Amino acid sequence: MTIDRRALGFGSGERAVYAADPWTSRGRLYHEDGSPTRSDFQRDRDRIVHTTAFRRLKHKTQVFIAQDGDHYRTRLTHTIEVAQIARALARALKLDEDLAEGVALVHDFGHTPFGHTGEDALHEVLLPYGGFDHNAQSLRIVTKLERRYAEFDGINLTWESLEGLVKHNGPLLTADGVGTRGPVPQPILDYCELHDLELATYASLEAQVAAIADDIAYNTHDIDDGLRSGYLTFDMLEEIPFLAGLMAEVRARYPHLEPSRFTHEIMRRQITRMVEDVIGVAQERFSQLRPESAADIRGADRVIATFSEGMAETDRQIKAMLFKRIYRNPDIMRIRAGAARIVTDLFAAYMANPKEMQSHYWVDHIAGLADAPKARHVGDYLAGMTDTYAISAHRRLFDHTPDLR
């Protein structure tokens, strides 16, 4: 029986002319025949969900170490929230929802254990060997480190998904070939030699909505987790006019609401207002640019899916509050110091004796390598660890492991 793929109705509705089209994808590095029941972007999303890297996100820190409580966000729950917001934005803007969701689901694959603390510590020890960048590591995972398929390493995502992974925060190069945020990480440059991701252009609008969804999600859930932990109070939120207005709105409608419900009513309004702001900005820019294809989005001179000036200021105020009250809180800084020590100790131990990397598939070949390639293997191994595995590995190798509580 022959299946008419175009008659299956992929997605939830008609796509706009500027949306990515799964029927005209630029393809995969390794050719594969199309699926009779799924678009190429659906297949990408499904492959992402079935990876080992995706499952590991369950035990990787977002802000609070998982030991602190079962209800704090992890990288996995954060990723799911980002994907939900990205899909909502994609639907409103008539984009390909599957591509937007896939980019959202893969965007944090390269993060280390212990959140940004682990990333900073790993970057520091890898500086002599090219440093560490979580976006570049995400690309390494999906193009090289996942070992699931008989015919290729990685999971062979489409060009559009890889472009979104690498460029969701904007172009990496200027038109003159200068890095927009410093030197482009070598793993990205190496991959582009094989499969050019056009680093000097913007990514698809699907990738852009995934990026702004990330901002919306963590601005909101870090406040929620901060209130749960006690590092934030409602009085602190009053310092930000946008949040103060939301709180006044909730109090006026529900004057005797219990704190947990009060928090949720604020958060849901925050997400809604931010999503609606992005939609409004995108629609305004459509009217200015009049894009007629996804190529017009990539070639535009500005990002399309972003906050208005007023909401961007609110975003800055929220981030400043989170840094002051949570990320730089003395208790969190003490925990961060312990987490950084775990990463640096493990790096030194594995460089001295690679055979301690018990589950690394290249462990028998690493000892004879020069320091630079050996360090990259050690970095891959450490970046792939969950918080719990890193703590366990440290306890096995060292007499004292920092208490991360």
Minimal CA–CA distance to 218: which of 341, 87, 115, 109? 115
CA torsion through residues 190, 387, 54, 221, sign: negative
Average of per-residue pLDDT values in the chain? 92
pLDDT tens-digit map of 86-129: 999 999 999 999 999 999 999 999 999 998 899 999 999 999 99
pLDDT tens-digit map of 199-257: 999 999 999 999 999 999 999 999 999 999 899 999 999 999 999 999 999 999 999 99
User: What pLDDT is stored for residue 363 in this prediction?
Assistant: 66
Residue 215 structure tokens: 């901002």
CA distances from 47 to 124, 149, 167, 223 (A): 32, 11, 20, 32
Minimal CA–CA distance to 262: which of 286, 233, 242? 233
| Band of pLDDT at residue 368, cut at 50, 70 and 90 | confident
The pTM score is: 0.93
pLDDT tens-digit map of 43-68: 999 999 999 999 999 998 877 655 55
User: What pLDDT is stored for residue 6 in this prediction?
Assistant: 52
User: What pLDDT is stored for residue 64 in this prediction?
Assistant: 63
Dihedral-angle region of residue 169 (phi above 0 means left; psi in -120 to 50 means alpha; beta otherwise):
alpha
Higher pLDDT, 8 or 134: 134
User: What pLDDT is stored for residue 45 in this prediction?
Assistant: 98
User: What pLDDT is stored for residue 405 in this prediction?
Assistant: 78
Could you tell me how many residues make up the chain? Answer: 405
Examine the pLDDT at 12 and tell me if it is beyond 60: no
Are the C-beta atoms of 107 and 210 separated by less than 8 Å? yes
Residues in contact with 245: Cβ distance below 8 Å, sequence separation at least 6, in sequence order: none
pLDDT tens-digit map of 279-336: 999 999 999 999 999 999 999 999 999 999 999 999 999 999 999 999 899 988 998 9
